Homo-oligomer: A and B are copies of this chain.
């Protein structure tokens, strides 16, 4: 019996992070997490064997816009205590991707069987937090309004390498009329822990994007209307590209759009 089926979208939206995590942990919720436990920070997950941890940690430190590191676990301890005292990294995400030698091999809803006592978890900030702030500021995010996934693109910008981790920067694109574009830069500048300000504005070709109509990584095509300006933010898919290059024998991430919901209020991640 799927308990989550009894819950309306409004119930899920107004639920506490703990309530959502309990539903996910018990297998009663297996869908994407956008809009759930509104007002709380959702994070990207990367789990790596211990021997890769220091290099990947340095990769995050050197690439704070795509990889804003909000928490790192103790080796072998599947916990992010500062993100929520009861969080279990192995069971509290609705869908995990498992990569072997850099290739996606399976998606599962619990990774307890994969966990080893040297694994290290990394929690990286996610754009859901700043999207919430943009919407609260009165801006329209058309992909959200249409129930679509924000378009993503690989750029020609190299991430700063660390050990075996390197690759191109991946960006998300959101287009706004000029005054809203200015406002969007202001609002997201307040959230350096969840990708922060855009890394580019205007001409996509300047960062190596040949065609905005061909998004990657499952993002949806979002046409740019007359008078709109595209803004490009560093994206949490960047570390996944770097993982493909590093080819660790195993790596666990969340499945895109199925995030870990934390007890940290979105407003707490604001810098000012």
A199's nearest neighbour on chain B, judged by CB, is: B179
When distances are taken between beta carbons in the complex, the residues of chain B under 8 Å from A227 are 203, 206
1/0 per position for A118-144, CB-CB distance to B under 8 A? Answer: 000000000000000000000000000
- Tell which of A68-76, A180-188, A240-248 binds the partner: A180-188
When distances are taken between beta carbons in the complex, the residues of chain B under 8 Å from A272 are 272
Q: Report the separation of the CA atoms of residues A150 and B165 in the bound assembly, to the nearest whole angstrom.
A: 45
A 184-213 contacts with B by CB, 8 A: 185-186, 189, 197-203, 206
When distances are taken between beta carbons in the complex, the residues of chain B under 8 Å from A48 are none
Q: Classify the secondary structure of A's interface with B.
A: mixed
Does A178 sit within 8 A of B, measured CB to CB?
yes
Contact of A197 among B186, B197, B202 (CB under 8 A): B186
B206 touches A229 (CB 8 A): no
B201 touches A201 (CB 8 A): yes
Q: Report the separation of the CA atoms of residues A199 and B185 in the bound assembly, to the nearest whole angstrom.
A: 13
Q: Report the separation of the CA atoms of residues A229 and B232 in the bound assembly, to the nearest whole angstrom.
A: 15
Given contacts A201-B229, A229-B201, contact A206 B186 (CB under 8 A): no
A 149-201 contacts with B by CB, 8 A: 178-179, 181-182, 185-186, 189, 197-201
Q: Report the separation of the CA atoms of residues A227 and B207 in the bound assembly, to the nearest whole angstrom.
A: 11
Given contacts A189-B189, A229-B202, contact A197 B182 (CB under 8 A): yes
When distances are taken between beta carbons in the complex, the residues of chain B under 8 Å from A229 are 201-202
Q: Report the separation of the CA atoms of residues A206 and B226 in the bound assembly, to the nearest whole angstrom.
A: 10
- Tell me, rounded to whole Å, the shortest Cβ–Cβ distance linking A189 to chain B: 5
When distances are taken between beta carbons in the complex, the residues of chain B under 8 Å from A186 are 185-186, 189, 197
A 247-272 contacts with B by CB, 8 A: 272
